[in-house]
Amino acid sequence: MNTVVEVKGVCKRYGNNEVIGHCDFQIPEGEIYGLLGINGAGKTTLMKMILGLQRADEGKISVLGREIDKNREYLAQVGCVIETPVFYEHLDASGLLAMHLAYMGRSADISAVLRLVGLEDVGKKPISHYSLGMRQRLGLARAVIHRPRLLVLDEPLNGLDPIAITEMRELLRKLSAEGMSILLSSHIIGELRYTADRIGILSAGCIRQEFSVEETVAKYGESFEEFVVGYMRRNAYETV
């Protein structure tokens, strides 16, 4: 199976504060990898480095088989929603996605993508009138409309109601089954238990533990979250 993302020995410092230190992990093709950590663990920083929005001080990041510092073409095959999505508020969903496709020089069935994320009935309503959940869905639509090979999502279930959360999980599983690799972050164990194939616990700047969700749930059953919380608690205050 092809490796889509490889992070090897990556460090990131802000002054004397080392946020990410000697971090290593891989994501194979078609896997949903859940990045789990307490607030401030460095999840967003790590994602921004993978997307080339921040530069690592040490180490190597490869996406789709090539080092990102030597190849920016990989970004055409990546979709992302990092932090709160920002839109042109006066546009409607179709207009926004059309503008995004024009910018990328790509074409796609906009109606099909809006249907995919559950926004097929928004009509000409301006984005300024969207709820937080609708904005999350629109951000995802913009991220996947060009059918990327890698999708990077920072806290993608924030602001969604229980029905929307279930639908979002089903959508991510569908995209994964079609071969898309997905990296998503959360500080909520339950989100990743029902979404991710594999979880990496980010603590003190590096991945302290990785495990298969299916195998760990089979082993610990209803004590799964207790096991994960216990591990996170033991490692939360270690230094890099």
Tens-digit pLDDT profile for residues 229-238: 888 877 655 5
Q: Which residues pair with 33 in a beta bridge?
A: 183, 198
pLDDT tens for each residue of 95-118? 999 999 998 889 999 999 999 898
Residue 191 pLDDT class (50, 70, 90 cuts): confident
| Average pLDDT rounded to a whole number, residues 192-201 | 95
| Average pLDDT rounded to a whole number, residues 52-59 | 94
Residue 85 pLDDT class (50, 70, 90 cuts): confident
Residue 239 pLDDT exceeds 50? no
Q: In terms of DSSP bridges, do strands 78-81 and 150-154 run parallel, antiparallel, or are they unpaired?
A: parallel
Residue 182 pLDDT exceeds 60? yes
CA–CA distances in Å: residue 36 to residues 17, 40, 92, 208, 222: 21, 11, 34, 10, 19
The token duo for 179 is 């071969």
Are 117 and 171 within 8 A, CB to CB? yes
Distance CA 20, CA 216 (A): 26
Residue 83 pLDDT exceeds 60? yes
Q: What's the pLDDT score for residue 237? A: 52
| Average pLDDT rounded to a whole number, residues 171-187 | 93
pLDDT tens for each residue of 126-160? 999 998 888 988 999 999 999 999 999 998 887 77
Residue 240 pLDDT class (50, 70, 90 cuts): very low
Q: Which amino acid is at 110?
A: I
CA–CA distances in Å: residue 132 to residues 77, 154, 185, 197: 27, 15, 18, 27
Distance CA 218, CA 19 (A): 33
Q: Which residues pair with 206 in a beta bridge?
A: 203
- H or E element at residue 114: helix 110-116
Q: Which amino acid is at 41?
A: A
Are 127 and 119 within 8 A, CB to CB? no
Kindly report whether the global pTM for this prediction surpasses the value 0.85: yes
Residue 29 pLDDT exceeds 90? yes
Q: What are phi and psi of 123, to 5 degrees?
A: 60, -135
Residue 164 pLDDT exceeds 80? yes
The token duo for 170 is 């089903």
| Average pLDDT rounded to a whole number, residues 168-177 | 92
Residue 127's closest CA among 164, 175, 88, 183?
88
